[in-house]
Amino acid sequence: MVSKQSVSQLTRNVVNSDCCLLFQHSAALAADAVTVMGRALKQLLINPDVFKDTLRMGDVYNNGTLGIDCDADPLQPWVHGKEIIDSLKRVS
């Protein structure tokens, strides 16, 4: 016969181990995401002129205009968005 105390202890151990596994998995996925993003950006920066027209004298330009207008209607995607997505897809 299993006592209430042993069931309670077993339940605590399972919950604690699941919690630790969840954090370990989350940390591993976050580390992988940072690694993939770093590799993708490194691939883009092989060409030093890739952001030449976007970053000028400390200012950010998008599609030739100063800044990124979040209230534009219709919204304008960032000029390098597709390049970044394509670079992410090429990371192996």
Query: 14-44 pLDDT, tens per residue?
Result: 555 555 666 677 888 899 999 999 999 999 8
For residue 88, CA distances in Å to 51, 67, 68, 81, 91 come to 17, 24, 22, 11, 5
Domain holding 10, by residue range, is: 4-90
Of the pLDDT bands very low, low, confident and very high (cuts 50, 70, 90), residue 63 is confident
State how many domains the chain has: 1
| Residue bearing the bigger pLDDT, 35 or 58 | 35
In the DSSP assignment, the letter for residue 67 is: B
User: Quick one: pLDDT at residue 57?
Assistant: 82
Q: Does 4 have pLDDT greater than 80?
A: no
Q: What is the distance between the alpha carbons of residues 59 and 75, in angstroms, rounded to a whole number?
A: 20
Q: What is the pLDDT of residue 90?
A: 93
